[in-house]
Structure 1
Amino acid sequence: ICRFMLKYLNSHNKSPVLCIGEEQPKNWFTELQVLKGHFDIVRFLVQIDDFRLQELRGHSQQITAMTTFTCENGPTSHTSLITASSDRSLSLWDPDTGNRVQTISDLQSSVKCLLVLERLCVWVSGGEELCVWNTDFQLQCQRQNQSDTGITALIELPKNCVAAAVDKEIVIYRLTVSTDSSMSLAEIHRLSDHQDRVRALINVSDGLFASGSHAGELILWDAIDWNILGYEHILWEESQACSQAEIRLAAPKPSESVHSHILAAVGSGLYVYSIRTKTVVAYKKVAHDSNVLHTMLLSDSELMSCSEDGSVRMWEIQDLPLPGEPASPGFFGMWTFGRSNKQTGLPSKKVADVPPHIRTLELTGDLIGHSGAVQMFASFGENGLLTCSTDHLLILWKNGERQSHLRSLALFQKLEENGGL
């Protein structure tokens, strides 16, 4: 483990508002450990437990999706890892040994997303087909998808339902278990309210889910009857209109403490959406120098994001606007508010009055270490933050004060065992 003093590199190329310098009192990630071993882009991170990493080898092409699968077996439980690859195969891994336990090859197409239904002890794969598998990797049932794009995202809904993002629509399927334990999938509804391809689909709570489209639409849905509860449309800046920017959404896991916000990233900007007021309550139009690739809500006032520009940034919601970034009309010229504003194609820009509840995002930490685009990150709580990148590296960011304290305790313990110096 090496000591890392945070410095802002190449600051002359950064926005003056985002140059916070070396003094970052709210950034506790002052120590890092570089993990080398990959020879290609690292795109996914999945947390197995609070501290473990394992190297698994077997696929011949890039990983397209991965997830953990924990199935209760009486008083014991065991966590496995499922991966999908462009080599048109699915694999089941034992994280304890690193061995591949099961594999399914020669699929009709690549699997783009995976979803575990732990209550039913099955898992679902989405691509050109929607397939349901049991713990023994046996196919239970499937539905052919008619769209050229295939299924790009899956989430679980109440009453044994699954929502799948298919082009511009969200398709609702119901999984039925018969008395003989056989399973069947039935399409029961289609949500066609997005005007562009659905790029993000997330669970917000047991009764809510959200979707985001390529054009910057954010829709909040009732998870029971699938009614629209909130709608916003984030219009990109002209400079981003021709880029490959996509919307990305983040919300706390249902098992965690209840938060009241959804975090939306469109292009290089970040927008905090209030579930209670159905409005955007904080924003940063240009949060990174390039597209945001992954986000995380840490609490109702703290969040993190990473970008193609190689940075990982910590943010805090503040009541006062930052100097140099007026609240009107620059920001609200990018928005239309309310369900009634929805129309075919992108709405024309309008200047709206600034709502009194609007807040802003303050940059509180900048983690500089990667030389390539940071694909995503995973939090290991007090044990640190793990990031992966196109530079083939993993970096484990740690609380410097805590690590120093742990080393001191270990030293004193060793001295005590050896009877002093």
Structure 2
Amino acid sequence: MNFTNLFRIALKALGNNKMRGFLTMLGIIIGVASVITMLAIGQGSKRSIKAQISEMGSNMIMIHPGADMRGGVRQDPAAMQSLKLEDYKAIVNETCYVAACSPSVSSSGQTIFGANNYPTSIYGVTPDYLDIRKYSIAEGDMFGEQDIVSSAKVCVVGKTIVENLFNNGENPIGKIIRFGKIPFRIIGVLTSKGYNTMGMDQDDLILAPYTTIQKRVLAITHLQSIFCSALSEGQTEDAEEEISSILRRNHRLRDTDDDDFNIRSQQELSSMMNSTSDMMTVLLACIAGISLLVGGIGIMNIMYVSVTERTREIGLRMSIGAKGRDILAQFLIEAILISVTGGLIGVVFGIGASWTVKLFAGWPVYVEWYSVILSFVVCTVTGIFFGWYPAQKASGLDPIEAIRYE
């Protein structure tokens, strides 16, 4: 018996029990749709995290003082003074893999303008800090090298500062605000970046020349941290090694000495967030995959029922020349038709459900084509796997006994 005839017989058999066939497909439809939707949510979350880390500077490198042991007591890294201005200058002049570098000193306190005040942080940096952290100027200008040399009392503010101090719609450019007791003239406003993945407001900051913060606010000569950006994300590790070598030389550390500084990059944060996101995606996909398993068991149950109901028909076919492999192929085709049709409908429902989640829940969603192909392949394999045993049982029936079956 040729394949075309077997296909027609399988279609006719399914057409005779439309409702039962649809209910069998339902498990596959729900399973495929669930897998696609869960993977879309996981991939959307992963892409959203990557985009936000990229906005913070995906190739950013942060250098902080390291903890030290004194008298058997480990000191707080924030209290250490191991980073000097000479370290910053050495990194700028000697590195090959660093694109931009900025020292950083900061202080928290109350910012005042007229009758308004707002608690915030002020950061002493250089203009390179904007490139490193992916900030840009929306209004006004950034302070320059001359402002750094003269320790000028000028600053650039974020949108949150503007909204809280200038709530009457005033133009902040040229206005004098006070941080503690120190007056600063606003010369620029940063473009808004909103909240990052950790829920921190990236617009809640004031940037000023680092020399101004060192001398007029903190009265220190050391640096609290140094921010750098590698030439590219792929060269971040090379840049870290280069910086580490320079700092160890500057700090006169022996080969056996531990670093008195810490170097961290956004790649570490990105790897951690991606691994967490991947784990959650796999977990969601596994939970959704249970629906596919249930759908497969449903196919097996229905095929068992079909074999039992059509035992006499199987006997008659075999008595007029149908071979066991023809009967096996017929029932396998039925199982595959159920799973493939259910899979196609499930793909449509899955993509639709993903966009519905994005539209109404506002979650980041991204449908990867591999998830659609994977779901479809899995449902086809499920149909073959769970349809094989009932089909094998049908092909092994004795024709005489099958004809006598009541």
Shorter-normalised TM-score: what interval?
under 0.3
Q: Which has a greater percent of helix?
A: 2
**Structure 2 length normalisation: TM-score?**
0.22
Q: Which has a greater percent of strand?
A: 1
**Structure 1 length normalisation: TM-score?**
0.21
Q: Which has the higher contact order (CA 8 A, sep 6+)?
A: 2
